[in-house]
Structure 1
Amino acid sequence: MRIAILILGVLALLLGGLWLVQGLGLVRIEPIACVGDCETIEGFNPGWAIAGAVLATLGAFGIRYGLRRR
């Protein structure tokens, strides 16, 4: 169980970090597999920055729990 939480924590931390830097306008990535009307995130977007910070924080807690000794 801890291994799964650790893996999910790492993925959440990486994805949350990406959303955070995109929301802050530091990185611009074109959509890869788009179904519908997709747009690139350009400039500051507080919604994505907050969502990224929350997800990265949850990922960090997941990593901490996964690495914690009994």
Structure 2
Amino acid sequence: MKYLAVAIGVVAMLLGGLWFLQGTGLVTIAPILCVAECEALEGPSLPWAIAGLLALLFGAALLWRSLRRR
């Protein structure tokens, strides 16, 4: 169970960091695969920055807690 928590924490931190960087406008990535009409995120987006920060903090807390447990 510890290894699963570590893996989820790392993935959440990586995705959260990417979402935060995209939300602040520091990174732009074009859509790769779209089901409908997709557009790249233009400029900063506060909801994506907040979601990324929350995911990053969740992943860090989960990683810290799973590595701290005995």
| TM-score where L is the length of structure 2 | 0.94
Q: Secondary structure at the match of 1:38?
A: coil
Could you tell me which residue of structure 2 aligns to residue 9 of structure 1?
Answer: 9
Q: Deviations over 1:17-38 (max 9, x none)?
A: 0000000000100111211121
Quote the offset at 1:48 in angstroms. Answer: 0.2
User: Are the equivalent residues in 2 in contact too, given 1:21–1:27 (CA < 8 A)?
Assistant: yes
Q: Secondary structure at the match of 1:53?
A: helix
Aligned length: 70
Could you tell me which residue of structure 2 aligns to residue 57 of structure 1?
Answer: 57
Uncovered stretches (5+) of structure 2, i.e. residues with no partner: none
Q: Which runs of 4+ in 1 moved over 2 A?
A: none
Give the RMSD, CA atoms, in angstroms: 0.9
Uncovered stretches (5+) of structure 1, i.e. residues with no partner: none
| TM-score where L is the length of structure 1 | 0.94
Could you tell me which residue of structure 1 aligns to residue 39 of structure 2?
Answer: 39
Identity across matched positions, percent: 50
